[in-house]
Amino acid sequence: MSAASVVLEAVWKSYPRYAPGERTLRGFVARRLPAFGGQELRWALRDVSLSAEPGESVGVIGVNGAGKSTLLRLASGLGRPTNGRVALPDRTASVLSLGDAFDLTLSGRENALTAMLVAGLRRREAQQRLEAVMAFAELEAFAEAPMRTYSDGMRLRLAFGVVAQLEPEALLLDEVIAVGDLRFQAKCMDHIRDLRERGTSVLFASHDLCRRIVGAGVKPTRQR
């Protein structure tokens, strides 16, 4: 791997463009094998390259639909680029991937435990950190409630509570600092700043540079 903690090199991502509701065999094959069907492709990302050194914060800023979330999902391992290379350190934490792993039938506490195990913590260590997760997320009163009763904001707060117990070499965030009130946002940004000071690379996506990053009290070292 490069000396940089996070590397995206000439990344392209396409999806097939097809008429909604198309159920023919030819349509099915074309969706699975676009080249076979000669189907038009919709490009979500075109030749994107960036890197974040240890302790550096890179902000990906763009309007809705610009491909920011697609880029972070690829970086989180929730998909593969059509072309290009994505390289990350082994200890990479992503609120995206943690949140997607939540089971709606389990309680908040059970989901937090599972997320920490998925992130690489040993069971005993994860169990010891459960109370700290719920406290950071400020969800102690809802720890035993099933995840299906959580709002989207509560789920993201729980995911960030898990991240707060990890020591990642790289941290990937997608608009999640918008969760909660200004006090909770500032709390999250303080934690991110502490991670950066300890050498964590941060890749952050937002459509609002001033309000989400500068307004929260942390300036990225580089913006792309």
Task: Give SS3 for 56.
Answer: coil
Residue span of the structural domain in which 150 resides: 54-223
Cβ–Cβ < 8 Å for 192, 171: yes
Does residue 2 lie within any of the structural domains?
Answer: no
**DSSP classification of residue 55:** T
Does residue 41 lie within any of the structural domains?
Answer: no
Does residue 40 lie within any of the structural domains?
Answer: no
Per-residue model confidence (pLDDT) at position 124: 95
Does residue 11 lie within any of the structural domains?
Answer: no
136 contacts: CB under 8 Å, gap ≥ 6: 160, 161, 164, 165, 187
Q: Which two tokens stand for residue 11?
A: 């990344």
Q: How confident is the model at residue 17 (pLDDT cuts 50, 70, 90)?
A: confident
User: What's 158's domain CATH number?
Assistant: 3.40.50.300
Does residue 85 lie within any of the structural domains?
Answer: yes
pTM: 0.74
Does residue 70 lie within any of the structural domains?
Answer: yes
Does residue 36 lie within any of the structural domains?
Answer: no
Per-residue model confidence (pLDDT) at position 86: 93
Q: How confident is the model at residue 1 (pLDDT cuts 50, 70, 90)?
A: very low
The total of structural domains in the chain comes to: 1
pLDDT tens by residue, 180-219? 677 888 888 889 889 999 999 999 887 765 544 444 444 4
Per-residue model confidence (pLDDT) at position 99: 61
d(CA 127, CA 144): 15
Cβ–Cβ < 8 Å for 161, 134: yes
pLDDT tens by residue, 51-85? 989 988 888 888 878 888 899 889 888 889 999 99
Does residue 91 lie within any of the structural domains?
Answer: yes
